[in-house]
Amino acid sequence: MKQISLNIDGVSTKLDESINTCNGLKASLASLTKLMIEVLNIQKFATSTNVQQENRPVI
């Protein structure tokens, strides 16, 4: 009986670790998405405010 309860505890610990990892990944993905949206907005703003867009130097 002791062996079974130890296994269950181990599985439950692994599940908790997996859930924590998953939540961490979700948070990272949300941050990345937010950053990408900001970058896109900056690009849109930069292209819309650049009057001489066709003469822009290529960086």
Residue 38 lies in a domain: yes
Residue 5 lies in a domain: yes
Q: Which residues of 7-24 are buried (b: 16+ CB within 10 A; e: fewer)?
A: eeeeeeeeeeeeeeeeee
Tally of CB atoms within 10 A around 6? 10
**What pLDDT is recorded for position 34?**
96
**What pLDDT is recorded for position 53?**
55
CA angle (33 as vertex; 31, 50 as ends), nearest 5: 115
**What pLDDT is recorded for position 9?**
82
Expressed as residue numbers, the domain containing 4 is: 1-49
Residue 35 lies in a domain: yes
**What pLDDT is recorded for position 31?**
96
Q: Return averaged pLDDT per consecutive 10 residues of the chain, 59 residues in all.
A: 72 91 96 96 82 60
Against a cut of 0.85, is the pTM above it? no
The helix/strand count (H/E) of the chain reads as 1, 0
